Structure 1
């Protein structure tokens, strides 16, 4: 992991030390303190204490309405996955008391020994196309492992609302898009294929599904890979996790996958990866789920993610986000809806 601009002094280490002592964790001075770069605005700091390495994760410095609740959910999911084979960061301890660190909840996890492919490939991955091909299959395998977890058995009953999950999707995200019009300066969505995609999703929605744990934002940039081979060392950034239809995670992977139509993908331009149909076949062999409607899930992922990204474009039109970022994300939205057409066909 690489360092970022986060100031480690935002952490009150005296308070953190007292809390760690109360949890029975090894004591002593804090050593090797350094910030960790992540894909989100959450603060992450690496340190060692008593000879044990940790990563602390807390919400952004400027808390949003649901920042603490999101972190509480993340910690609950990581705790639930601790006894499973899922490649998730291992939770050490969580503090859900906002008063300990000045208004923010936080948790400690074990550092992940791995790299993020979106920031570049080390050797042997960079020069071995067979390893890169296998990395894609391992991404599908790690997702299938998550989909096999019995969410009720690991203590996540009531964590989400799987009843009516698929039925809610199109109205939920069309409503989100409609809400952007309240922003002054946003002329409304100019997204070719929007209405056609929404209608197709409603007309072709799967009749039933098997509920399970969803990561909610499953793409290559949210995976850490092992340094010594193609294995997924950890799935990271569980902010969007819920109980829903795990096949939407596979659709999300396909929607954001590098290559294919327009040679477009989120966060990385790795070459030599398997094609989408290989990911689907590999997932199918490991999951036992019915993938006959996988194009619906991939289309839904394009639709949902495109609308999410359009929100930043709308805020940029209103002067509440940088124009260059808003323009770039609007272009990505258009690419997602174009990709959705290929899945629909």
Structure 2
């Protein structure tokens, strides 16, 4: 394969280095074939390839590494290694390399390819033509969340992954600081995204008094799972870069915050949401409650928090776009989504 100037695959030198690393670990022999990029909504490099008839997917940080890129990848392969001891659907970890000298400064890992599809970007004929099947797909997302929330993070070796003490108390000040940080972009005029202070006050006043720590995926929406091509089952939860030890009910709130968000130019459910026939938010909560021992009576608070946090995160892309560091079309679309998220937060706060 010729060198790839766009950085979406791997150069010939990187492929050779990867093959040598695999040789030393008994992961096949001979050339790496059928090398192609795995596209998606991430800036990390993902490459699919084969060796001696076995499929692999490599994941590493972006071509231009950021200060924490390698830390994020190390975090991901630590989580995938721990999930092997659970019934949470995920891509199985094959091997990980924490040595930055192998791929030009980037750590990486290899995982099993997932035999499934992302319903955010495609909907096979079987699923597109069966409304009952799509309804079950919605419930399958919640089932996967409940499985993740049931994992004993200490028992699987993730006790040091996050700081569960004070997790809920830290959320509002943490994300207000993030919003304030966008002032570093001179082109950003400041947030015009709705009643930020009002939402922050409501969250502080209604915060649950206690919670049970567990594994929090951190970005659990309908486009971050892969479904079976033969049915409604979730076969893998993907994109673990925001995972931590926190309150798993925030994952459920995140799903509800992004569930068929009205008027948003950046639908989180993509093709699945557009096809329709999905469970209502209240049905999703009821299903989670059936599958989990966690108390969901405060789920409205978690959904408002998800709207608040995600809206602020997406506004950062708008600030960067105004500064010329991201495409303006993307920044404007995500700014619109932030507006919808804060509108949803206010509706929930009013009890509707």
Q: TM-score if structure 2 supplies the norm length?
A: 0.94
Indicate the SS of the match to 1:71. Answer: helix
Tell me which residue corresponds to 1:47: 49
Whole-Å Cα distance in 1 between the matches of residues 210 and 47 of structure 2? 42
Cα deviation digits, residues 28-79 of structure 1 (max 9, x gap): 2212211111221111111111221111111110000000000000000000
Cα distance between partner residues in 2 of 1:70 and 1:170: 23
Superposition deviation, residue 313 in structure 1? 1.3
CA distance in 1, matches of 2:44, 2:288: 31
1:10, CA displacement in angstroms? 7.0
Instruction: Give 2:309's aligned residue.
Output: 304
- 1:77 pairs with 2:79: yes
Q: 1:95-244 maps to which residues of 2 (within 5 A)? A: 95-244=97-246
Unpaired segments ≥5 residues, structure 1 = none
- How far apart in 1 are the matches of 2:66 and 2:299? 35
Secondary structure, counterpart of 1:175 in structure 2: helix
User: C-alpha displacement at 1:11, in angstroms?
Assistant: 6.6
How far has the Cα of 1:262 moved from its partner?
4.8
Distance 2:123 2:260 in 1: 15
Report the Cα distance in structure 1 between the residues aligned to 2:330 and 2:250, rounded to whole angstroms: 26
| 1:248-273 Cα shifts (integer Å, max 9, x gaps) | 010000001116x5588425123111
Give per-residue Cα distances to partners, 1:169-204, cap 9 Å, x unaligned. Answer: 000000110111121121111122211111000000
Deviations 1:123-157 (A, max 9, x none): 21010000000000000000100001000000001
Conservation of the 8 A alpha-carbon contact between 1:39 and 1:237: no
Deviation digits for residues 85-134 of structure 1, max 9, x if unmatched? 10111000000111011100000000000000011200210100000000
What value does the CA root-mean-square deviation take over the aligned residues? 1.5
Alignment correspondent of 1:314: 319
Query: Is the CA contact (8 Å cut-off) linking 2:117 and 2:227 kept in structure 1?
Result: yes
Q: Distance in 1 between matches of 2:335 and 2:232?
A: 33
Helix, strand or coil at the partner of 1:57: strand
Separation (CA, whole Å) in 1 of partners of 2:157 and 2:280:
36
Distance 1:5 1:51 in 2: 25
Distance 1:135 1:339, change over 3 A: same
Match of 1:332 in 2: 337
- How many residue pairs were aligned? 341
TM-score by length of 1: 0.95
Pick aligned residue for 1:253 from 244, 255, 260 = 255
- How far did 1:318 drift? 2.5
